[in-house]
Amino acid sequence: YTSHPDMNIFKEQLLAKLHAVIRENQKVSSLFDGTKRIISVGNYPATPCGGTHVENLAEIGTILIRNIKHKDGKIRIGYAVSN
């Protein structure tokens, strides 16, 4: 996706994938590795995180992508979640 020619199409594809994953209603689990909190969702790769988390994906409401920035071959996505 880092070379995606149209960010609007990328945004639509991303939202479609996110909503599909949310519909799977997978359990969210966390564990601590020293001082780091590690979050896992289903079979997706675990990731360190320090934010607020749901117990399962059904708790997630609407996802709004605020902005997408593409710089130096990386994509940064700003988003909000509401119920």
Q: Please list the residues that pair with 64 across neighbouring strands.
A: 80
CA-CA distance, 77 to 70, in Å (whole number)? 9
Span 54-78, average pLDDT: 85
* ∠ Cα 26 31 37 (to 5°): 105
* pLDDT tens track for 2-47: 555 677 888 889 899 988 888 888 888 988 988 888 999 888 899 8
